[in-house]
Structure 1
Amino acid sequence: MPRDFQQTHENLLDCAKKHFLKFGFERASIREICKDASVTNGAFYNHFADKEALFGSLVEPVLQKISEMYSDSVAKHFELAKTDELKDLWRLSEETIQQIIEYIYENFNVFKLLLMCSDGTKYAAFMDDIVRLEVHDTIKLINELKLRGVPIKELEEEEWHMLVHSYFSSIAEIVLHNYPKSSALKYAHTLAAFFSSGWQTVLGI
């Protein structure tokens, strides 16, 4: 990528992030973003197909990393499920929360884009997509435990959805309310203790 092209590309991304954070995706204007970036509207389309592609360029790298972190956590949970150290599942969950929070604060404004500014894009379903995936994988994990003879109470899929959604909504609060990182990491212990105790009680593990 030629240097001038790359600089213009990065400038557009920087200005777009500012406008999306201020106005949200739907109200942000390509014309105003280009004006702020000192780029013509025509030149914009040498870099991005449309406004959603511009938004996607800001959030996709973070989504990819979150997907990798999630897949790694799921694999570790399934490995633990093969052992008799089931209590370690809750320890691993707390470690995962800590890792997610650390990553959120490395990319705080991108998570703001996803959670607060994405209406009108395919990314508006970010939270619901995570919840559906987590419900699917959690039920799969529970079924694995049942096959090993671990006695677990039955839950309806709707119950799983409510509980998982409340878990991720709690994590999202740190972005929605601009909590300082030190507070968020402290609250992670509270969340882990609350949900670990709750899950163990509900499931009878």
Structure 2
Amino acid sequence: MRPTNEKLASDILEAGKQEFLSKGFKGANLRNIASSLGVTTGAIYRYYTDKEEIFSTLVEEPAHTLTEKYRTLQKEFSARPLEEQLSGLPEISESGHDWMMEHIYNHYEAFKLIICCSTGTQYEHYMETLAEIETNSGILLMERMEAAGMKFRHIDEDMVHMLSSALFSGIFETVRHDMPREKAFAYMDGIREFYSAGWFQILGIS
């Protein structure tokens, strides 16, 4: 059973966070974390098995919440009638992305770690997970349009994935460049307008 010095466990997380933000996961060193706290690495091992467990503890809850919420939003969108999906796309997108930005900025340092410092961890391809959710939703929408006999320009899965990846790359640029919250939300409005209009354009529908 691990000891229950909650303050030391919390201090290790804070010191680990600063080490990761400064050097990235790969460059981070448990000895540096221990030294900054005036303890031995053995003291750290009483609470965390390795530096990846420290990293995961810092990011796993907000990361999981975002992916699951986004997956739920896309499922709810797909459950709507097709006509409602198409007519309400800009407003539905606005609601979902507003929640996403609020969540990211409410857990800013966790997402800073994921986006800028996670190489070598299970979160290294986190944006890819979100892009896959978006890609699957886009493909399902086109399948429903085709089943309904709608005329539109067909695009393949690779293109959908490319557009989805570009969307999330743009969203997380706000974190990568340390944008203030207000500026990030304004930036998100522009991204959303661009992609909503772009989808209608590339599919050849209005």
Judge which range, 65-74 or 141-150, deviates more: 141-150
Structure 1 gaps, min length 5: none
Structure 2 distance, partners of 1:93, 1:181, is 19
1:188 corresponds to which residue?
188
Shift of residue 4, structure 1, vs aligned partner: 4.9
TM-score for the superposition, normalised by structure 2: 0.91
1:150 corresponds to which residue?
150
Structure 2 distance, partners of 1:67, 1:127, is 10
Alignment size in residue pairs:
204
1:36 corresponds to which residue?
36
2:174 corresponds to which residue?
174
**Is 1:84 equivalent to 2:68 in the alignment?**
no
Contact 1:94 1:188 in 2 (8 A): no
**Is 1:103 equivalent to 2:107 in the alignment?**
no
Contact 2:3 2:47 in 1 (8 A): no
Q: Percent identity?
A: 32
Runs of 4+ in 1 over 4 A off after TM superposition: 1-4
Shift of residue 83, structure 1, vs aligned partner: 4.5
Structure 2 distance, partners of 1:151, 1:18, is 53
Contact 1:105 1:181 in 2 (8 A): yes
Structure 2 distance, partners of 1:39, 1:194, is 51
One-letter code aligned to 1:40: T
**Is 1:52 equivalent to 2:70 in the alignment?**
no
Structure 2 gaps, min length 5: none
Q: Deviations over 1:29-79 (max 9, x none)?
A: 101112223332112122112111111111111111102221221122112
Q: Deviations over 1:148-199 (max 9, x none)?
A: 3333321122211221111111101101111111111112221111111110
